[in-house]
Amino acid sequence: MDATVNVVTAANAQHDVARAAIAVDGLVKRYRDVVAVDGITFTVPHGSFTALLGGNGAGKTTTIAMMLGLVLPTAGRITILGQDFATHGKSLLAQMNFQSPYADLPRRLTVRQNLTIYARLYGVKAVKERIAYLARELDLDTLLNRPLGELSAGQRTRAGLAKAFINRPRVVLLDEPTASLDPDTADWVRGFLSRYAQEEHATFLIASHNMLEVERLCDRVLMMKLGRIVDSGSPKELLAKYGRTTLEDVFLDVARHGPLEAAP
């Protein structure tokens, strides 16, 4: 009986991985005596928004870096769009993109020049039309011919977002996507992200400290602490579980006191 259950469980797990846009299994990153990511496992369904939350040093950035091939895992497996990233990383990266306000574009180049270069690197067709579309969606029309170094932090964030969508990615990894944006512009950007997800059936994994943004955008939340996923669920599920009215209060509970129980 136990053997049958194990076979069924393994088959279900394989089915979940096949259905997921992102599947992470037993992922570990160790730097000598420091374990930055400690055996995490999760899946992100196609067409969904999932948030990766945690305090500084929780392992969020390292996890995303491994999913981009910037950092090699010590152990574990990453599957994206049904393919093993270790084997098919080059072809998968052509279908992905990333944005972080901490990874700036070349500041001497204009916004248009930056976007043109990245479009060519990704083999984008109809480059001018694609740039024009993103400029309209992200309110960059008046900034296209200005050097990036002359822009405000918020304007550079929008230019970075345009870069992240230049190749029509199917999987988008975002680190603080609305950092430095005023409330009106941040709401504009969230509207663009939602429309893009619906139109392209794209999948998003977002690392953010903006709890209100996570509540508005995300279907599911993964809570990280000390390199581990310690809790997970939809924003509503986590609010109910912790008896809180805001996700920020849930975040503080987990950061200061730990989860109420081990994550499933």
pLDDT tens sequence across 193-220 = 999 999 999 999 999 888 989 999 999 9
| Domain-embedded: residue 46 | no
| Domain-embedded: residue 123 | yes
- Report the percentage of the chain scoring pLDDT > 90: 80
**How far apart, in Å, are the Cα atoms of 49 and each of 16, 131, 216?**
17, 25, 10
| Domain-embedded: residue 76 | no
Are 252 and 246 in contact, with CB atoms under 8 Å apart? no
Confidence class for position 6, pLDDT limits 50, 70, 90: very low
* Beta-bridge partner residues of 173: 98, 205
| Domain-embedded: residue 19 | no
Confidence class for position 19, pLDDT limits 50, 70, 90: confident
Domain that holds residue 129: 102-168
Q: Which comes out higher in pLDDT, residue 262 or 203?
A: 203
Residue 8 confidence (pLDDT): 34
Are 29 and 66 in contact, with CB atoms under 8 Å apart? yes
| Domain-embedded: residue 201 | no
Distance CA 101, CA 160 (A): 7
Q: Is the per-residue pLDDT at 18 higher than 90? A: no
| Domain-embedded: residue 145 | yes
**How far apart, in Å, are the Cα atoms of 128 and each of 110, 118, 186?**
14, 12, 25
| Domain-embedded: residue 209 | no
Q: Which residue type, as a one-letter code, is found at position 105?
A: L
Does the reported pTM lie above 0.85?
Answer: yes
- Report the percentage of the chain scoring pLDDT > 70: 92
Residue 179 confidence (pLDDT): 85
Number of folded domains that form the chain? 1
Residue 149 confidence (pLDDT): 96
**How far apart, in Å, are the Cα atoms of 147 and each of 49, 155, 160, 164?**
32, 11, 13, 18
pLDDT tens, position by position, 215-236: 999 999 999 999 999 999 999 9
Confidence class for position 10, pLDDT limits 50, 70, 90: very low
What average pLDDT is seen over the chain? 91
Using alpha carbons only, how large is the chain's radius of gyration in Å? 19
Q: Which of 7-11, 188-192, 249-253 is least confident? A: 7-11
Residue 9 confidence (pLDDT): 38
Are 164 and 99 in contact, with CB atoms under 8 Å apart? yes
Residue that has been written with the tokens 């037993």 in this structure: 26
One DSSP character per residue, 3-36 reads HHHHHHHHHHHHHHHHHEEEEEEEEEEEETTEEE
pLDDT tens, position by position, 122-176: 999 999 999 999 999 999 999 999 999 999 999 999 999 999 999 999 999 999 8
Q: Is the per-residue pLDDT at 262 higher than 80? A: no
| Domain-embedded: residue 110 | yes
- DSSP category for residue 153: H
Q: Is the per-residue pLDDT at 5 higher than 80? A: no
